[in-house]
Chain A
Amino acid sequence: MRTHSESALAFSPRRVGAMMLRYWYLLRSSWPRLIELIYWPTVQMITWGFIQYYVMQNGGLLARAGGTLIAAVLLWDILFRGQLGFSVSFLEEMWSRNIGNLMMSPLRPFEFVTALMVMSIVRLAIGVIPVTLLALIFFGFNLYGLGFGLVAFFVNLLLTSWAVGIFVSGLVLRNGLGAENLAWSIMFLFMPLTCVYYPVTTLPVWLQPAAWALPSTYVFEGMRELLIEHTFRADLMLEALAINAVFMTVGVAGFLTLLKAARRHGSLMQTGE
């Protein structure tokens, strides 16, 4: 049974703007929400900054690559906070029992997802930009010195974070707030496999194909190449982009399928646990 017509694909910037305004009102109304955005990235960056400092003092490979660990933690934050920024904005609708109002309004799923994507960038900017400046002040590490590499890393990490965020939002729509923990923890499943702090060759050979199936792995490998060998690997970024296209397709298709299932099971009327 078909559940949407061509007009379901219509796109209105006004409706996207309405949703962004809703999240902006929310952020503005709560200073603990703003502090929370900055708190963990700062703590993590400072911890790993000191570890980096210690490693450099004791020589070794990483001593040649000033800032590898700090860069890794900052890029990891883009991946993790990007997904969290998307998912938390979505969860706000579930927590406030507003999802029924939205699903009954003329807002299309693609417009909703677009607003969540933009808000993930806004939340990321609020959380990560001050931390990159602190990294420069405390540890002399300039993330922006990565130049075009940083743009390529940022775009790829953001696409991965959105794909995961979209899919997790679908799971929460279908299963209610019982699935909320996935939103907070799913990225940590990626962490050991995507090789944030060590090269892919560190993993057992049988596990390496799984690592290369994740777009973010190419970004962290690319970051190490740039900092250690001073080479920008465009091929790695293009491969990441191709895998991200697959991730986004699966994420969006999964979200639409789970939304359809939520309508079938009546989950949109019962958004509790």
Chain B
Amino acid sequence: MPAAPAIEVERLVKIYKKVPAVDGISFAIAPGSITGLLGGNGAGKTTTIAMIMGLITPTSGSVKVLGADMLQQRYRVLHRMNFESPYVEMPMRLTIRQNLTVFGMLYGVSDLAGRIEELGEALDLTDLLDRPTGKLSAGQKTRVSLAKSLLNSPELLLLDEPTASLDPDTADWVRAHLDRYRRDRHATVLLASHNMAEVERLCERVIIMKQGRIEDDDTPARLLARYGRRTLEEVFLDVARRPDEVREAAQ
């Protein structure tokens, strides 16, 4: 019997002042998998992730996370998931250790001091733990956000542009860490990104969004074969530039 999906989205719609940001999308994410949500600006990736997290209430449709309906039972699963997003930050005046202590208590992490040291080592933050978060570089702040998102060893990790504003070396290092975490913990990861190379390297499956709809959904290899392209970037450009009538005919 196949395992229940970690995320189950059905006919999800979000309309802001008559403009649909997400327009009736459905998908299911298998546990232990890593899926990329690709799309240009305004494609609806962030709104979709925010609805999965329960930060935004859908206009209609349903979201189930780890078996719980996020509209009615979100508090049953919030301690089993975590996220990282460029739309939120950690308090700047608190040190990294203080911030992680507060969030660790909120998530009920056992042996919190040990877990903070462990993450400090894993994310190369040990020497910075007692420095105020506001005094870190962009790359260091991203690593702190990542530490916060891994603090409770989540079964489900939602990442919105996790390597934006990072230099290529740090970005590569973060990707390797995420991949290792996913494999070690058998965690489910949903990753929204503009970065095609990142998605190509990390993801087993890619969902391409445009104007709030799912334009395509497959493994990177099958997408490349279907579009006759060598990179996901070329596939993305094909999808982004094809007129709506071509998409409808293809569907």
Contacts and interface: CB of A to CB of B under 8 A. Distances in A.
A108 B108 CA distance: 13
A10 B75 contact: yes
B73 interface: yes
Contacts of A104: 53-55, 78, 82-83, 88
A103 interface: yes
B91 A3 contact: no
A181 interface: no
A114 to B, nearest CB: 14
Nearest to A98: B91
Interface footprint category on A? 35 or more
Interface stretch (A19-27, A46-54, A79-87): A19-27
A25 B98 contact: yes
A99 B88 CA distance: 7
A231 interface: no
Given A8-B75, A98-B90, A101-B103, A14 B55 contact: no
B221 interface: no
Interface in A122-180: none
A211 B76 CA distance: 45
A264 B50 CA distance: 11
Contacts of B102: 18-19, 21-22, 25
A209 interface: no
B16 A4 contact: no
Interface in A186-230: none
Interface residues of B, number: 39
B195 interface: no
Contact of A26 (B75, B93, B107): B93
B75 A106 contact: yes
Nearest to A261: B57
Contact of A30 (B93, B98, B107): B93
B92 interface: yes
A14 B98 CA distance: 15
A105 interface: yes
Contact of B93 (A4, A7, A29): A29
A29 B94 contact: yes
Nearest to A103: B55
Contact of A7 (B50, B73, B94, B103): B73
A7 B75 contact: yes
A48 to B, nearest CB: 34
A1 interface: yes
Given A2-B71, A29-B94, A269-B50, A7 B76 contact: yes
A29 B135 CA distance: 14
A21 B76 contact: no
Contacts of A257: none
Contacts of A14: 105, 108
Interface of B: 14, 16, 46-47, 50, 53-57, 71-76, 78-79, 82-83, 85, 87-94, 98, 101-103, 105-108, 132, 148
Interface of A: 1-5, 7-8, 10, 12, 14-15, 17-19, 21-22, 25-26, 29-30, 92, 96-108, 260, 263-266, 268-270
Given A5-B76, A98-B88, A268-B56, 6 more contacts: A4-B75, A18-B103, A25-B94, A104-B88, A107-B106, A268-B50
9 contacts: A3-B57, A4-B75, A7-B76, A22-B91, A92-B91, A100-B88, A102-B106, A107-B106, A266-B50
